[in-house]
Amino acid sequence: MVKEELYSYSDTVNELLARYGVRFGIYKNGTFKEQLFPFDMIPRKIGRDEFDYLERGLKQRVMALNEFIKDIYGDKKIIRDNVVPEEFVYMGSGYLAQCEGVRPPKDVFTHISGIDLVQAKDGEWYVLEDNLRIPSGASYPMIAREICRRSSPETFKKNAISDNRNYAKLLRKTMDHVNVGGHTVILTPGRYNAAYFEHSYLAEQTGAHLVTGNELVVENDNLFFKDYSGSKERVGAVYRRISDEYLDPMNFNPESVIGIPHIYDIYRKGNVALINAPGNGVADDKGIYYFVPDMVRYYLGEEPVLHNAPTYLPFYPKDMEYVLENFDSLVLKDVAEAGGYGVVFGSGMTGEEKDRFIAMLKAEPRRFIAQEVIDFLDIDIYENGEAVPRKADLRAFVLMADEPMVWKSGLTRFSRNPDSFIVNSSQGGGFKDTWVMEE
Q: Binding residues for another protein, per CB under 8 A?
A: 75-76, 79-80, 86-87, 89-91, 95, 97-102, 218-221, 249-251, 254, 261-262, 265-266, 268-269
C-beta of 100: minimal distance to another protein in Å? 4
In this complex, which beta carbon is closest to another protein, that of residue 261 or of residue 342? 261
Torsion angle defined by CA atoms of residues 200, 205, 209 and 212, in that order, rounded to the nearest 10 degrees: -20
Distance in angstroms (rounded) separating the CA atoms of residues 134 and 109: 12
C-beta of 250: minimal distance to another protein in Å? 5
Helix (H, G, I), strand (E, B) or coil at 372: strand
Phi, psi dihedrals of residue 249, rounded to the nearest 5°: -65, -20
C-beta of 40: minimal distance to another protein in Å? 43
In this complex, which beta carbon is closest to another protein, that of residue 109 or of residue 239? 109
Distance in angstroms (rounded) separating the CA atoms of residues 27 and 426: 9
Helix ranges restricted to H, 290-408? 292-295, 317-325, 351-363
Distance in angstroms (rounded) separating the CA atoms of residues 99 and 339: 25
C-beta of 283: minimal distance to another protein in Å? 16
DSSP calls for 199-267? HHHHHHHHTPEEE-GGGEEEETTEEEEE-TTS-EEEEEEEEE-S-HHHH-TTTS-TT-SSS-TTHHHHH
C-beta of 102: minimal distance to another protein in Å? 7
Q: Which of 275, 271, 264 lies closest to 400, judged by CA?
A: 275
In this complex, which beta carbon is closest to another protein, that of residue 99 or of residue 178? 99
C-beta of 101: minimal distance to another protein in Å? 5
In this complex, which beta carbon is closest to another protein, that of residue 265 or of residue 319? 265
In this complex, which beta carbon is closest to another protein, that of residue 193 or of residue 253? 253
In this complex, which beta carbon is closest to another protein, that of residue 31 or of residue 82? 82
In this complex, which beta carbon is closest to another protein, that of residue 15 or of residue 87? 87
Distance in angstroms (rounded) separating the CA atoms of residues 103 and 70: 8
Burial annotation 420-429 (CB, 10 A radius, 16+ → b, else e): ebbbbbbbbb
C-beta of 317: minimal distance to another protein in Å? 18
